[in-house]
Structure 1
Amino acid sequence: MQIELLEEIGLTKSEIKTYYALLELGSTTTGKIVDKAGVASSKIYEILDKLMDKGLANFIIKGSTKYFEAASPKRIIDYIDERQAEIARQKNELKKLLPELELKRQLSKYKSEAKIYKGYKGIETAFYEALDLLNKGDEMLVTGIPSRSKYLNRFFVKFGSKRANKNILMRAIFNEEARGEAQTEHEKVKLMKIKYIPQITPAAINIFKNRVLIFPETKDEPILVAIDNKEVERASESSLK
Structure 2
Amino acid sequence: MPVDETLRKLGLSRQEADIYVATLKLGTAKASEIAQKCTMARGAVYYTLKLLREKAFISEVVKSGVKYYSATSPKRLLERIDEEQAQKRELVHSILPELQALQSTSLSLPQVELYEGTEGFKSIFAKILEQDGQQLRCFLSGSILAFMPQFHVQFRRRRKEHSISIRTITERSPEMDAIRALDAKELRVTRYNNLMKNKNVLYYILNDAVIIVKANKVEQMALYVKEKEFVEFQKALFEKVWQEST
TM-score by length of 1: 0.47
Task: Please tell me whether Structure 1 or Structure 2 has the larger radius of gyration of its CA atoms.
Answer: 1
TM-score by length of 2: 0.46
